[in-house]
Structure 1
Amino acid sequence: MTVQTRLDLADQREGADLAAFLGRLLRYDRAAAVRLQAVPGPDGGVLAVFGRLPLGESAVLVVRTVRLAGPVAAADLTVSAGQLLESVDESGAALGLPAPVTGPSWAGLLPPRSGWRPVGRPPVDRVVGEVRSAVEEFKRRVAEVPEHHRSRQAIDAVADEIWSRPLGAAADLPLRAAHAAHTIGFLRPGAPLAAYRAGAWLRLDAPAGSVLLRTAAAPGAGLGLSPLR
């Protein structure tokens, strides 16, 4: 059986956007891995790129979808984010698939594909304002911690207290989801946002991608292995 090692992108912008997404992930974790799922379609298909963004002692999943030019074979593998970034050919609108790696535990437990119910459509300008205010509070409170007590644990405790608060623009979501969307580059002026829940999972959608997080363990929740659409 022939294994597909190269994917053609729909256009150069897809490559640039994917490179920016991977670069942001690697800024937080130089050894980051991403799970890839290529889904064939009538116009070439879609590649879903799942990553993990650590924020304080917690983390969220982020997913960027990339439009592909056909033909595309179905694929599902976990690869090094750094090697994937190196394989992006923006000028040639193409992407190489690195050799699979042993994935981290989160890569085996993706959100469900169906069963999502809407819980709000927060205005992006208000969400950005809340995130910026929270970031300023975080910086101020960390600066107020005596230097000899400013450990990683102390900093993470401040972060977790702030980012666990409900988002004013969509109370079902914690601020952490909006912070992750801002950090990964999904919050853009005028971008429509939508919030959803499925069991223990929460999701914030933007045109550039989605942020997903689990609120609690729930039997049977989050066992889907297909990309969100």
Structure 2
Amino acid sequence: MTNTVTLASEHDSADLQTYLERAERLGAEHVWLVGVGTALAAYVAVLTPQGLLDIAPTVLGLRVFERVETGTLDMVVQVRAMLDRLAHDKITIPLPVGQAGIAWTGVAPPRTDWVPAGTLLEIELQLAAKAGIEEVAKANGLGTNIVTAVREEVWRRPLNVQNTEIPRTVPAGVAFAGFGLGFFVTGIAQVTTSGAWTRIATERGHILTK
């Protein structure tokens, strides 16, 4: 296992830094780095269940960057540690110590066999995210349990997928993740499914949920 990752350009480095900064602001503590060929996939968890009784959806952000190496890479590191290294090494980045036992990394989203399943308007996702953020903000100060319950209820709400042969929804948490990670502009997001996973793809990144 390599102890560094060499990005293909300063553009990739700047994009990775911005992505991780946004993820950190959303509360993501870890980034799962998966290298296959010259592609470096960086997964972050925006929403995850916090216990056996928690029915919140799992919502991950994903961006893919170009790297120089072609060897296999599969490790989870702290977002803050990765940002600290990016601040000093823009291209060849010493990898932080790997983290074990991070629950959301237990089952990887599939890489293949994604089937088209409709579309979503990015502007509608933005509006859903802003409305949800305002609703959660109103609960602040009412106690941890109430805030947690409101967050769970808001981000579980279904959003209807368009242009699909069968009725299909995704949790509003995908809007929160995509908006916070800067994935939305004014285009059309493509929805695909593979097994239990649903992927919402835009020009700027991917949101995965199950």
TM-score, normalisation: structure 1: 0.75
Deviation string 1:28-71 (CA, Å, 9 cap, x unpaired) is 447x222211111xxxx110111211378634222121112x34
| Identity score, percent | 25
In the alignment of these two chains, the number of paired residues is: 199
Q: Find the aligned partners of 1:156 and 1:72 in 2 and give their Cα distance.
A: 42
Partner of 1:213: 209
User: Does the 8 A contact of 1:123 with 1:169 survive in 2?
Assistant: no
Compared CA separation, residues 83 and 113, structure 1 to 2 (3 A): same
Partner of 1:26: 24
Partner of 2:131: 133
- Within 5 Å, which residues of 2 pair with 1:166-177? 166-168=158-160, 170=162, 171-177=168-174
Deviation string 1:67-97 (CA, Å, 9 cap, x unpaired) is 12x3432211222222211222588433322
Matched, 1:101 2:93: no
Kindly report the root-mean-square deviation, in angstroms, between the aligned alpha carbons of the 2 structures: 2.5
Q: Find the aligned partners of 1:157 and 1:85 in 2 and give their Cα distance.
A: 31
Q: CA deviation at 1:25?
A: 2.5
* Of 146, 149, 154, the match for 1:162: 154
Q: CA deviation at 1:154?
A: 0.7
User: Does the 8 A contact of 1:196 with 1:203 survive in 2?
Assistant: yes
Compared CA separation, residues 124 and 23, structure 1 to 2 (3 A): same
TM-score, normalisation: structure 2: 0.81
User: Does the 8 A contact of 2:48 with 2:104 survive in 1?
Assistant: no
Residue type of the alignment partner of 1:87: R
Structure 1 residues not aligned, in runs of 5+: 215-229
Q: CA deviation at 1:133?
A: 2.6
